[in-house]
C-alpha cells in the first residue's frame, strides 16, 4: 500500500516543488518504486509544468482537458457525480501525475450545503477534509509512494493534503526564517490532527485514521563555504537537528538545479560537477526519505 507524503510549507520559494520532483524521480529511477505525484499547487502548477509542460498552457487558461481534483470538490458541493474518475497521467520521467488545477483556489468548506444539524455539519466538514484521501484510496495499492506538492498557504486544500498524508515533510531554506517555517508546518499538521480527533468523537463509524506524522524539514538551497555550511546556515541546521526535526542530508544552492529547471529535466541527467554534486545530494535525500517515511 502506498505511503502518502505531503510537501508542505507556508513559505514560498523554499524548494518544495524541486524536492518533490527529484524525490519522486529518484524513488522511481534509483529504487524502482511506483510513484504517483499529486500537484495541489493551484497557483503555479510547478510540478505539472515540470513533468508535462504542454499542460501549463491549459493551466494558464484555467481549464484542463482532464477530470481533476477540482471536479471532485465540485461533486461534493453539488452532491452529484458529474465527471468520471480522476485522470492519472503518464510522464516521460516515469512517475504518474494528477495535474494541478487553478480552480482549486476556489475550494472552500463554505460551499458545502449547510444545515442546522451539528452532526450533519460535522460529517460535511469531514467529507471536505477527507476528499483527497478518498480520491487516492482506490489507487493506494497501485503505488509505493504518493507525493503531494502544495501551495504555500494554509488553505482548505492544504488541510486536505495534510489529512491525505501519512507523513508531511517541509523543505526549508536554511536562513533565520526557516525555524519559523518548520514550526508553522507542524502547527498546521497538529491542527488537522486535533480536528480529526474531535470529529471522531462527533461522528460514529468514521474509518480508522492514523494522525499525520511530521517526518522532517529538508534543508534546501544550503550555502557552503570551503565544503562546510556557512555559519548562519550551520547554526540553523544544528538548531533544527537538536530539535530532531531536520533530515541529515541537505541540498546545496547551485547552477546544477537551476540548469535542470531551465531544461525541465531532473538534475540526475544534467552534466557538470555542480549538477553531479546536487544529484548525489538528492540521491542521499531520497534514501533518507525512505527511512523516515515508513508505513
Ligand X SMILES: Nc1ncnc2c1ncn2[C@@H]1O[C@H](COP(=O)(O)OP(=O)(O)OP(=O)(O)O)[C@@H](O)[C@H]1O
- Which parts of this chain interact with ligand X (CB under 6 A)? 12-18, 41, 44, 46, 152, 220-221, 251, 253-254, 257-258, 261
> Could you say which of 6, 45, 46, 216 contacts Mg ion (CB under 5 A)?
46
Whichever of 17 and 91 has its CB closer to Mg ion, that residue is: 17
**17 contributes a contact to Mg ion by CB under 5 A:** yes
Q: How far is the CB of 120 from Mg ion (least distance, A)?
A: 36
Rounded to 5°, the CA angle 202-207-209 comes to 90
**102 contributes a contact to Mg ion by CB under 5 A:** no
Select the binding partner of residue 86 from Mg ion, ligand X, none (C-beta < 5 to 8 A, by kind).
Answer: none
217-226 in b/e form (b: 16+ CB < 10 A) is bbbbbbeeee
The answer to whether 241 touches 262, Cβ cutoff 8 Å, is no
Select the binding partner of residue 89 from Mg ion, ligand X, none (C-beta < 5 to 8 A, by kind).
Answer: none
The answer to whether 115 touches 121, Cβ cutoff 8 Å, is yes
Whichever of 160 and 279 has its CB closer to ligand X, that residue is: 279
**11 contributes a contact to Mg ion by CB under 5 A:** no
Q: Which stretch binds Mg ion (CB under 5 A): 38-46, 71-79, 183-191, 263-271?
A: 38-46
The answer to whether 269 touches 28, Cβ cutoff 8 Å, is no
Q: How far is the CB of 46 from Mg ion (least distance, A)?
A: 4
**50 contributes a contact to Mg ion by CB under 5 A:** no
Whichever of 46 and 216 has its CB closer to ligand X, that residue is: 46
Select the binding partner of residue 266 from Mg ion, ligand X, none (C-beta < 5 to 8 A, by kind).
Answer: none
Length, in residues, of the chain:
295
Using CB under 5 A as the binding criterion, the count of chain residues that bind Mg ion stands at 3
Whichever of 76 and 275 has its CB closer to ligand X, that residue is: 275
The answer to whether 35 touches 291, Cβ cutoff 8 Å, is no
Residues 6+ apart with CB under 8 A from 249: 219, 281, 284, 285, 287, 288
Whichever of 131 and 221 has its CB closer to ligand X, that residue is: 221
Whichever of 96 and 151 has its CB closer to ligand X, that residue is: 151
The answer to whether 246 touches 237, Cβ cutoff 8 Å, is yes
Whichever of 17 and 252 has its CB closer to Mg ion, that residue is: 17
**171 contributes a contact to Mg ion by CB under 5 A:** no
Strand extents, DSSP E, 143-185: 145-150, 167-173
Q: Which stretch binds Mg ion (CB under 5 A): 8-16, 30-38, 73-81, 222-230?
A: 8-16
Select the binding partner of residue 258 from Mg ion, ligand X, none (C-beta < 5 to 8 A, by kind).
Answer: ligand X
HSE at residue 151, side-chain half, CA atoms within 13 A, is 22
User: 265: burial class by Cβ within 10 Å (0-12, 13-18, 19+)?
Assistant: middle
Q: Which stretch binds Mg ion (CB under 5 A): 14-22, 60-68, 118-126, 228-236?
A: 14-22
Name the H helices within 203-269.
231-242, 255-262
Strand partners, 40: 150
Chain position carrying cell 524548494: 15
Binding site for Mg ion (CB under 5 A): 16-17, 46
Amino acid at each position: 500500500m502506498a505511503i502518502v507524503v505531503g510537501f508542505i510549507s507556508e513559505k514560498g520559494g523554499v524548494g518544495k516543488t524541486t524536492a518533490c520532483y527529484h524525490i519522486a524521480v529518484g524513488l522511481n529511477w534509483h529504487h524502482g518504486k511506483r510513484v504517483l505525484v499529486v500537484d495541489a499547487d493551484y497557483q503555479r502548477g510547478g510540478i505539472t509544468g515540470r513533468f508535462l509542460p504542454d499542460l501549463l498552457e491549459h493551466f494558464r487558461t484555467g481549464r484542463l482537458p482532464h477530470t481533476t481534483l477540482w471536479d471532485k470538490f465540485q461533486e461534493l458541493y453539488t452532491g452529484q457525480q458529474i465527471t468520471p474518475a480522476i485522470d492519472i497521467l503518464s510522464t516521460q520521467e516515469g512517475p504518474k501525475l494528477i495535474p494541478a488545477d487553478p480552480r482549486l483556489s476556489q475550494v472552500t468548506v463554505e460551499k458545502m450545503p449547510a444545515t442546522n444539524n451539528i452532526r450533519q455539519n460535522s460529517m460535511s466538514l469531514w467529507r471536505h477534509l477527507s476528499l483527497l484521501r478518498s480520491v487516492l484510496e482506490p489507487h493506494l495499492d497501485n503505488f509505493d509512494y504518493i507525493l503531494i506538492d502544495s501551495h504555500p498557504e494554509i488553505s482548505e486544500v492544504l488541510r486536505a493534503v495534510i489529512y491525505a498524508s501519512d507523513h508531511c515533510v517541509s523543505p526549508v531554506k536554511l536562513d533565520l526564517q526557516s525555524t519559523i517555517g518548520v514550526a508553522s508546518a507542524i502547527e498546521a499538521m497538529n491542527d488537522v490532527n486535533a480536528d480529526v480527533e474531535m470529529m471522531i468523537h462527533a461522528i460514529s463509524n468514521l474509518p480508522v485514521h492514523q494522525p499525520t506524522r511530521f517526518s522532517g524539514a529538508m534543508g534546501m538551497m544550503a550555502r557552503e563555504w570551503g565544503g562546510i555550511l556557512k555559519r548562519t546556515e550551520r547554526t540553523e541546521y544544528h538548531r533544527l537537528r537538536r530539535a530532531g526535526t531536520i533530515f541529515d542530508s541537505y541540498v546545496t544552492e547551485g547552477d546544477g538545479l537551476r540548469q535542470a529547471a531551465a531544461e525541465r529535466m531532473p538534475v540526475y541527467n544534467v552534466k557538470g560537477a555542480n549538477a553531479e554534486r546536487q544529484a548525489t545530494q538528492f540521491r542521499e535525500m531520497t534514501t533518507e526519505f525512505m527511512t523516515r517515511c515508513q508505513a
